[in-house]
Amino acid sequence: MPDPNRDAKSQAKDLWKTGDHLESGRVLFENLPKDEQVTWAVAILDFTTEWLDVWMCGIWELKRVARKRRRWRAAHQAFTKIRGTTLRLERRKTLTPVQERMLCQCFVAENVAKVIYNATDPIDPFDEDSGWWIVPCLKSCIDCLAMPEFDEAVTSMLFGVETRPV
């Protein structure tokens, strides 16, 4: 059990290092003020889109929805579109490297869409742990991209630490 006296980012980083990515995501997400959870999730979506260089219609739509609070309810529709792409990719027997990056991006985007939609306090929310899953999805992106620079950039973004020698 995490020590409540330790900084949340430090706890999350330790959990990340031990491979408990879901718990790392829980600690990070749950320790953000409610009004910052969407900002955090969207920043991660922007970050992964830049690194993975994947632009799909549903993700483009989600990014547009995320920019204006009054449009956040439309995140559910963006989720549905992204989920359709996810399911099509998962049905394939083999994936090209680009399709693998698309699938990783879809997993991140699905959870970001859920966080955005849930922030509207809907009567039909997605699972409350949706924000936690963003971190394990980032780990999948790291594994998919297999670039040490990306791994370092993710670690720095999530935990606010510089991983390169000074």
Q: Which tens digits make up the pLDDT trace of 89-106? A: 999 999 999 899 999 999
Q: Does the pLDDT of residue 163 top 60, yes or no? A: no
Host domain of residue 71:
55-159
How many other C-beta atoms can be found within 10 angstroms of the C-beta atom of residue 31?
13
Question: Residue 32 domain-assigned?
Answer: no
- What pLDDT is attached to residue 57? 77
Average pLDDT over residues 134-154: 92
Question: Residue 118 domain-assigned?
Answer: yes
- What pLDDT is attached to residue 161? 53
Q: Is the dihedral angle over the CA atoms 44, 82, 21, 12 positive or is it negative?
A: positive
- What pLDDT is attached to residue 164? 38
- What pLDDT is attached to residue 21? 96
Question: Residue 74 domain-assigned?
Answer: yes
Average pLDDT over residues 141-151: 90
**Which of 17-21, 84-88, 125-129, 148-152 has the weakest average pLDDT?**
148-152
Tell me if 137 sits within 8 A of 38, measured CB to CB.
Answer: no
Q: Does the pLDDT of residue 148 top 80, yes or no? A: yes
Question: Residue 34 domain-assigned?
Answer: no
Question: Residue 50 domain-assigned?
Answer: no
Tell me if 83 sits within 8 A of 75, measured CB to CB.
Answer: no
Tell me if 124 sits within 8 A of 141, measured CB to CB.
Answer: no
**Which pLDDT tens digit goes with each residue over 19-47?**
999 999 999 999 999 889 999 999 999 99
Backbone angles phi, psi at 111, to 5 degrees: -70, -35
State how far the Cα of 85 lies from the Cα of 78, in Å rounded to an integer: 11
Tell me if 44 sits within 8 A of 157, measured CB to CB.
Answer: yes
Question: Residue 47 domain-assigned?
Answer: no
Q: Per the structure, how many domains does the chain have?
A: 1
Task: Provide the whole-model pTM.
Answer: 0.91
- What pLDDT is attached to residue 165? 36
Question: Residue 31 domain-assigned?
Answer: no
- What pLDDT is attached to residue 37? 96
Contacts of 40 (CB under 8 A, 6+ apart): 28, 29, 32, 131
Task: Please report, for the chain, how many H helices and E strands are present, in that order.
Answer: 8, 0
**Which pLDDT tens digit goes with each residue over 49-86?**
988 887 777 899 999 999 999 999 999 999 999 999 99
Question: Residue 111 domain-assigned?
Answer: yes
How many other C-beta atoms can be found within 10 angstroms of the C-beta atom of residue 83?
15
